[in-house]
Amino acid sequence: MERASNDQIATMPIEFKLDGKTVVGRPDEPIIETAARHGVEIPRLCYAPGLRPDGNCRACVVEIKGERVLAPSCCRYPTAGMEVITDSARARASQKMVLELLLSDMPEKEYRLDSELDQWARKLDLGLPRFEARKQPPADLTHPAIAVNLDACIQCTRCVRACREEQVNDVIGYAFRGEQSKIVFDFDDPMGESTCVACGECVQACPTSALMPAREAGLAKVDKTVESLCPFCGVGCQLTYHVGDNKIRFVTGRDGPANHGRLCVKGRYGFDYAHHPHRLTKPLIRKQGVAKGADFVVDPANWSEVFREATWDEALDFAADKLKQIRDQDRYALAGFGSAKGSNEEAYLFQKLVRAGFGTNNVDHCTRLCHASSVAALLEGVGSGAVSNQVSDVLKAEVVFLIGANPTVNHPVAATWMKNAAQRGTKLIVADPRRTELARHATHFLQFNPDTDVALLNAMIHTIIDEGLVNKDFVKQRTSNFEALKENAKDYSPEKMAPLCGIPAPTIREVARMFATSKGSMILWGMGISQHVHGTDNARCLIALTLMTGQVGRPGTGLHPLRGQNNVQGASDSGLIPMMYPDYQRVDNPEAQKRFQALWGTKLDAKPGLTVVEIMNAAKAGKIRGMYIMGENPAMSDPDVAHAREAMAGLEHLVVQDIFLTETAYMADVVLPATAFPEKDGSFTNTDRMVQLARKAIDSPGDAREDLWIIVQLAKRLGLDWSYQKPRDVFEEMRRGMNSIAGITWERLERDSCVVYPCENEGDPGEPVVFRTHFPTATGRAKFVPADLIPADERPDRHYPMVLITGRQLEHWHTGAMTRRSGVLDAIEPEPVASMHPLDLEALGAAPGEVITVASRRGEIALYARADDGTPRGAVFIPFAFYEAAANLLTNPVLDPFGKIPAFKYCAVKVSKGGARPGDPGYGNGGTLKLMYG
């Protein structure tokens, strides 16, 4: 017989006695859990699923025969023959005394309807506590999202563990000693002035009401809970909406595969945009004679100067008639922007509408602006644009290489897995020109010079070849074109590249070695890689690193471009791409064309369509005359946005479908009021290739309609014979055109909330790790594509001496249309800021908080200076969410030749002290909380 391994022994069942009965437990299962499985309930306060058991509250103490003192059943594991008594007079006396001691210090005032302490006191029949209360600490209401009432604190440290061990935000501590012990934020600072990022994990963890959603949300009446998803980023967190009176009262994290109950500030507190008074509730038609122009000031509260209300019939007819008219003159003069915020079904129908209804392939969406280059390189190299491994695989990796990404801000819950991995000893290499939060958790932080990605990465490739660390078997069996890479890499020794990228050669060599030789190395990247003129080359280098070391095809390895929008993966999969049908089937591939012509019963155009920036250029040139834009805001998100606004203003006909009167909608001829995320059902695909179901939680306001309905109505008016009623009707059709999801049934989505693709046949489990045996290319092999140094289009010079890097903030999503209308998010980041190194600010003579002016060759904006020593010298970082200081007025519209993605991460600017204070955009500006809650 073979000997059992230690891991096996740890889970082998053992018998022990529980309250006199023989039960079967496991050596790795605490007694409290075994008891629960056998219907024995033991009180507990500091113990909570998902958190490390700490055993401090002592409410769960039990008697173990032969032991001098009682034992905490949450931290004790059974041994064979152990005799445990949970309800003896002695055990009960201590359990009750613990509860009584804590109860005696609870405040009179309730912050929550039924705390866990109250529940246990009731179950154990506790009367009024007999001890005098402690001296109570004052409340801390300095944070817009979270009320801190330490008078209700029982010091169980669940919040500390949630903050430090789960989210690893490291804000909450348990300071001082004895009865002075206290939950603190940083240095016992007011929460609102601390480093708190308001993920709210502590609130979710608190068993009493010491940490609660602000404004007494904990006391609000809730009449239903709805299991859904977060509407913001690509991580795809599952959450629960708590709804009362058709309003979302608060949100809690759900145990989804991507988040396991965790959320970030946006997911937990950014839901109330749906209730904002600016919501569009009636179709709007542009008033006769109100001119369009790029130079406008949006006032969303005062829409009636520009628009008049219309009925749905009038608006839809108006929208469709003009589109039809242009189509019938020149179908190539129409284009559509779909949205990565919409569902798969919406994306699919939108592209079908453009292809079948407009008759062109001029359909694109904001993926073009985030990961088009990554996708281009991935399709070329490994045959699939999606991730090879899921984010949580970082927990299985030995080395994690994160480059050009700031996940604590942009993918906060994904970042928690990286921090968890780092805590467990995974070697985390962070490479980024900006020193961001994750750098503190990294074993190696490479703060390389902006725009020198290829230099750094080629130096790593060079090292791996130079030091004989190439996985020869893998290269031989699974790849092609390695010789070209090898030849190309000769010129890129670390010693030669070090002065360029600013990282010492020995460091480059060390991390290259670590990456190549570990049991599992995983690469994750963000838009610091993709948004360059050499974005595709950057990604090619990352793919090469992975292939040459064979670090792919296994758990804890692979390639993961962190996707931005909540459905950017799904929108791309569903075909919102000008040169591809759903599932990345090229429109110029006759087979694919045939397939979709058959599926859709119509003739399709074989000419690849234009991309986002190309469409804008064509509009400016008068070649595109009509557009249908659903849920996107190019008037804020496009590079050189003044140019984009001019282009849109020049359109003959612009149909915009949105929930707010966005900057783009302001230039529309007709605006169709749509539903917000929590107001409809649909499937969404996250960065991990998980197809997940969002469910309707609230009714939409006024006459706003579901997006799917609007698309169908337009389609009918464009002559298409559509009869889709529900998202599932659309999904069924999608399955017939997309092999990757053919095996996913709507019933399964409803049951499991999540299915991973590829899932080609019903009943397939789905594949979290792909490329295990082959790559989805014609040959089954992956292909190396070498890259050379291409400098940025516009480098700093005498006139524009600094580098502008644009990006996002934790609190604000993209162009801010939603998040600046969310009370908490607006309160935390109310106004536009530009981050600069404190020494650069000093050189400028500007104090942090003062107004500075940032100008490029394309425009200038004035905004507040923020000191951040993580920003490299000579650079300025500006988030693009602020209309009153739109960063994209400055950016350079030059494109990567393969991905057609603009270089948002690099252009030359000059910064000067002073300028007019940014104006009021009519929303946000720190006024949302007051507007919505009084």
Partner 1 sequence: MKRKGKGGVRSTLKGRTVDPRALAEVKKLLGQAPRRRDLLIEHLHRIQDACGQLSAAHLAALAQELRMALAEVYEVATFYHHFDVVKDGSKPAAVTVRVCDSIACELAGSHELLHRLPEVLGAEVRVVHAPCVGRCEAAPCAVVGQNPVGNATVENVAQAVASRSLTCPETKYFDYQAYRKNGGYGLLADCLAGKRTRDEITKIMEDSGLRGLGGAGFPAGRKWRLVAAEPAPRLMAVNLDEGEPGTFKDRWFLERDPHRFLEGMLVAAWCAGVGEIYVYLRDEYAGCRKILEDELKKLKAKPPCALPPIHLRRGAGAYICGEESAMIESIEGKRGMPRLRPPYVAQVGLFGYPTLEHNMETVLWVRQIVEQGAKWFAGHGRHGRKGLRSFSVSGRVKKPGVHLAPAGITVRELIEEYCGGMQDGHELYAYLPGGASGGILPASLSDVPLDFDTLQAHGCFIGSAAIVVLSERDKASQAAQNLMRFFRDESCGQCTPCRVGTAKALALMGERKWDQALLGELSQAMMDASICGLGQAAPNPALSVMKFFPHEVS
Residues that bind partner 1 (CB under 8 A): 55-59, 61, 69-70, 72, 75, 90, 93-94, 97-98, 101-102, 104-105, 130-132, 134, 154-155, 164, 170-181, 184-189, 193-197, 440, 829-831, 833, 838, 847-851, 864-870, 917-918, 926
Q: Which contiguous run of DSSP H or E holds residue 540? A: helix 535-549
Q: How many CB atoms lie within 10 A of CB 838?
A: 15
Give least dist CB 732 to partner 1, A: 47
**Cα gap 642→634, rounded to integer Å:** 10
Encode 276-336 in three state secondary structure: CCCCCCCCEEECCCCCCCCCCCCCHHHHHHCEEECCHHHHHHHHHHHHHHHHHHCHHHEEE
Give least dist CB 174 to partner 1, A: 6
Which one, 338 or 918, has the nearer CB to partner 1? Answer: 918
Give least dist CB 30 to partner 1, A: 11
Which one, 105 or 573, has the nearer CB to partner 1? Answer: 105
Which one, 81 or 780, has the nearer CB to partner 1? Answer: 81
Within its chain, how far is the Cα of 212 from the centroid?
Answer: 24
Give least dist CB 851 to partner 1, A: 7
Give least dist CB 832 to partner 1, A: 8
Tokens of 173: 């501590």
What 3-state DSSP class applies to 27?
A: coil
Give least dist CB 177 to partner 1, A: 5
**Cα gap 280→671, rounded to integer Å:** 9
Give least dist CB 244 to partner 1, A: 31
Give least dist CB 187 to partner 1, A: 5
Which one, 154 or 475, has the nearer CB to partner 1? Answer: 154
**Given phi > 0 = left and psi -120 to 50 = alpha, else beta, which region is 925?**
left
Which one, 438 or 730, has the nearer CB to partner 1? Answer: 438
Which one, 8 or 181, has the nearer CB to partner 1? Answer: 181
Which one, 69 or 778, has the nearer CB to partner 1? Answer: 69
Contact in structure between 783 and 894 (CB atoms under 8 Å):
no
Which one, 848 or 922, has the nearer CB to partner 1? Answer: 848
**Cα gap 785→222, rounded to integer Å:** 56
Give least dist CB 841 to partner 1, A: 10
What 3-state DSSP class applies to 777?
A: coil
Which one, 72 or 257, has the nearer CB to partner 1? Answer: 72
Strands (E), 759-801: 782-783
Q: How many CB atoms lie within 10 A of CB 801?
A: 12
- Residue 170 has, within 13 A of its CA and on its CB side, a CA count of 10
Contact in structure between 366 and 565 (CB atoms under 8 Å):
yes
Which one, 622 or 919, has the nearer CB to partner 1? Answer: 919
Which one, 72 or 234, has the nearer CB to partner 1? Answer: 72
Taking CA atoms, 10 is separated from 3, 75, 77, in Å, by: 13, 15, 11
Residue type at 208 in one-letter notation: T
Give least dist CB 16 to partner 1, A: 15
What 3-state DSSP class applies to 649?
A: helix
- Which residues are CB-contacts of 791 (< 8 A; sequence separation ≥ 6)? 451
Edge to edge, what strands does the sheet with 238-244 contain? 224-229, 238-244, 247-253
What 3-state DSSP class applies to 775?
A: coil
Give least dist CB 886 to partner 1, A: 17
Q: What angle do CA 632, 633, 638 make, to 5 degrees?
A: 115
For the chain, how far is it from start to end, CA to CA, in angstroms?
73
Give least dist CB 331 to partner 1, A: 48
Edge to edge, what strands does the sheet with 399-403 contain? 444-446, 427-431, 399-403, 521-525, 558-561
Residue 264 has φ and ψ, to the nearest 5°, of -120, -175
Give least dist CB 420 to partner 1, A: 15
Give least dist CB 97 to partner 1, A: 4
**Cα gap 826→812, rounded to integer Å:** 8
Tokens of 831: 């106004």
Which one, 174 or 296, has the nearer CB to partner 1? Answer: 174
Residue showing tokens 């060599």? 509
Contact in structure between 199 and 159 (CB atoms under 8 Å):
no
Which one, 792 or 852, has the nearer CB to partner 1? Answer: 852
Residues 818-837 as b/e (b if ≥16 CB within 10 A, e otherwise) read bbbbbbbbbbbbbbbbbbbb
Give least dist CB 848 to partner 1, A: 4
Give least dist CB 845 to partner 1, A: 15
Give least dist CB 191 to partner 1, A: 10
Q: Which of 105, 500, 300 is nearest to 115 (CA)?
A: 105
DSSP string, 854-919: EE-SS-EEEEEEEE-TTSPTTEEEEETT-GGG-GGGT----B-TTT--B-TT-EEEEEEE--PPP-
Give least dist CB 359 to partner 1, A: 49
Cis ω for the linkage preceding 129 (within 30 of 0): no
**Cα gap 5→3, rounded to integer Å:** 6
